[in-house]
Amino acid sequence: MRPPYYHWRKKTGWLIGMTLALILILGYRFVRPPPSALPSSVAVVRDTLEDIVLASGTLQPITRVDVGSQASGQLTSLDVNPGDFVKQGQLLGEIDPTLSQNALRDAEVALNSLLAQKRANQALVKRAYLVLQRQRQMYQEHATARQDVETAEADWQVQQAQLASMQAQIRQQQIRVDTARTSLGYTRIVAPVSGTVVSVSTQAGQTVVAAYQIPVILQIADLSVMTVKAQIPEADFSRIRQGLAVCFTTLGAADKRYCSTLRTLEPAPEKINNALFFNALFDIDNPQGLLRPDMTAQVSIVLDRAENVPTLPLAALGRATSSHRYQVEVIDAQGKIRSRAIQTGLNDGMKIEVKTGLQTGERVVLPAPLRQGSAL
């Protein structure tokens, strides 16, 4: 028979064993290291990148004509308003033609007088010639003296000279008539080109004086094609060349993008607040007339473009080993971090093209200072 304390010792040993096992299990759960977490990373995605130069510009019509008059007088009528479309040769208004009409009539009267005098001179020339012929005939028949023949010849030459002088006066007076007729035509204000009336600076009833300079009555512009004058900063001008793709938006329609090709670069700069800017010009069709003179254009000149290429944020680039070459850390399919050499290309200031070393979908570990945020 076993002693009574045997059973107590057996129970006590079992309790101690269970307690130790529980302590070991709980200690392992609280003491074991947590599984390692992957660092923040970004994925390689395909995108389109553009290297652009930004500039501000203004829109102007490709053709703008100041319409005036070389005639002085009161503007009796003006039949157009800003916004009206006019055709070349269309009558727009008229200046009081009274003075010009009187000047033309006066010149025509003087011309008619000279023409009458010319006919009289022609008759005198003819008569002098006939006299000369008779004197020559009579001289051959010894019925007149040699002196009478010479006198007839001189008279004939004098009449011819007077006729030539009269013809010169007639030509001169004809010029005066033509000038007066042209001046009368200046009283009719006609459209020199087809286009839209963009401004009217003289109203009917006003008096225009064309003594020293031709007064501007209105402006006509061809709005079917607009020219954008973009101001390029001096620092970017060396990168710009003719033929580059260029796009712009206006302040009133930021969602509407217009694109064209750079036409020309003006060689002379403009100084604005002690900074130099060069004008770059390009044209854009405006069939609907949505673009108007003096609108502000937000211009983007595309220096280079890469479409549908693998890209990374610039912040994800690692250590640069040489020009366009970097060393980055990549998370492979097994979750391990491996170093990878990559070659880059075009960047737009936020993203950069990956030419070699990475495939679309691979994840690149962010540099240590950027790992505070969550993975992208």
Percent of the chain with pLDDT over 70: 88
- Within 10 Å of residue 248's Cβ, how many Cβ atoms? 25
Task: Give all strands of the β-sheet with 207-208 in edge-to-edge order.
Answer: 188-190, 91-95, 73-78, 207-208
Is the pLDDT confidence value at 113 over 60? yes
270 and 325 assigned to the same domain? no
Question: Got the DSSP string for 303-322?
Answer: EEEEEEEEEEEGGG--EEEE
Strands (E), the chain: 41-43, 45-68, 73-78, 85-86, 91-95, 188-190, 195-200, 207-208, 216-233, 245-250, 253-261, 264-265, 270-272, 275-285, 296-313, 319-322, 325-331, 337-347, 351-356, 363-365
Is the pLDDT confidence value at 375 over 50? no
Place of tokens 């971090």: 337
Q: How do residues 25-71 score in pLDDT, each as one tens digit? A: 555 454 444 445 667 888 999 999 988 889 999 999 988 999 988 88
Which SS3 state, helix, strand or coil, does residue 40 take? Answer: coil
* Total number of domains in the chain: 3
Percent of the chain with pLDDT over 90: 47
Q: What integer pLDDT is reported at residue 119 of this predicted model?
A: 93
- Rounded Cα distance between 161 and 5, Å, is 173
Average pLDDT over residues 298-307: 90
Helix or strand run (H / E) with residue 147: helix 146-186
Q: How do residues 205-248 score in pLDDT, each as one tens digit? A: 888 887 777 888 899 999 999 999 999 999 899 889 999 999 99
Q: Which two tokens stand for residue 324?
A: 């366009």
Residue 213's nearest CA partner among 64, 68, 96 is: 68
Q: Which of 253, 283, 305 is a domain's end point?
A: 305
330 and 285 assigned to the same domain? no
For 175, list phi and psi in degrees, rounded to 5. -65, -40
Average pLDDT over residues 350-358: 90
**Which residues 6+ apart lie within 8 Å of 324 measured at CB?**
343, 344, 345, 355
Average pLDDT over residues 70-84: 89
Residue 286 covered by a domain = yes
Is the pLDDT confidence value at 297 over 80? yes
pLDDT band at 15 (very low <50, low <70, confident <90, very high): low
For 207, list phi and psi in degrees, rounded to 5. -100, 130
How many residues appear in the chain?
376
Residue 81 covered by a domain = no
- Rounded Cα distance between 203 and 214, Å, is 16
Residue 33 covered by a domain = no
- Rounded Cα distance between 90 and 27, Å, is 102
Residue 118's nearest CA partner among 303, 285, 110 is: 110
300 and 313 assigned to the same domain? no
Average pLDDT over residues 115-144: 90
Cβ proximity of 52 and 168 under 8 Å: no
Residue 284 covered by a domain = yes
| Mean residue pLDDT across the chain | 85
109 and 157 assigned to the same domain? yes
Residue 210 covered by a domain = no
270 and 343 assigned to the same domain? no
- More confident position, 13 or 332: 332
pLDDT band at 179 (very low <50, low <70, confident <90, very high): very high
Q: Which of 288, 305, 322 is a domain's end point?
A: 305
Residue 48's nearest CA partner among 290, 258, 346, 257 is: 346
Query: Residue 27 CA to chain centroid, in angstroms?
Result: 78
- 47-56 b/e (C-beta count within 10 Å ≥ 16 → b): eebbebbebe
pLDDT band at 116 (very low <50, low <70, confident <90, very high): very high
- Rounded Cα distance between 361 and 376, Å, is 12
Residue 358 covered by a domain = yes
- Rounded Cα distance between 352 and 343, Å, is 10
Q: What integer pLDDT is reported at residue 5 of this predicted model?
A: 45
pLDDT band at 6 (very low <50, low <70, confident <90, very high): very low
DSSP state of 145: -
Residue 164 covered by a domain = yes
| Least-confidence region, from 8-12, 15-19, 210-214 | 8-12
Q: What integer pLDDT is reported at residue 316 of this predicted model?
A: 86
222 and 300 assigned to the same domain? yes
Average pLDDT over residues 338-345: 90
Is the pLDDT confidence value at 196 over 60? yes
Q: What integer pLDDT is reported at residue 31 of this predicted model?
A: 46
Q: What integer pLDDT is reported at residue 263 of this predicted model?
A: 93
Burial classification of residue 7, based on how many CB atoms lie within 10 Å of its CB (0-12 exposed, 13-18 middle, 19 or more buried):
exposed
| Least-confidence region, from 119-123, 321-325, 342-346 | 321-325
175 and 165 assigned to the same domain? yes
Average pLDDT over residues 79-102: 91
Q: What integer pLDDT is reported at residue 376 of this predicted model?
A: 46
Query: Residue 90 CA to chain centroid, in angstroms?
Result: 28
Model-level pTM? 0.64
Average pLDDT over residues 74-80: 90
Q: Which of 305, 332, 360 is a domain's end point?
A: 305
Q: Which residues partner with 58 through β-bridges?
A: 229, 296
Residue 195 covered by a domain = no
Cβ proximity of 218 and 80 under 8 Å: yes
Domain of 136 in residue numbering reads as 97-186
Place of tokens 């053709």: 63
Q: What integer pLDDT is reported at residue 205 of this predicted model?
A: 85
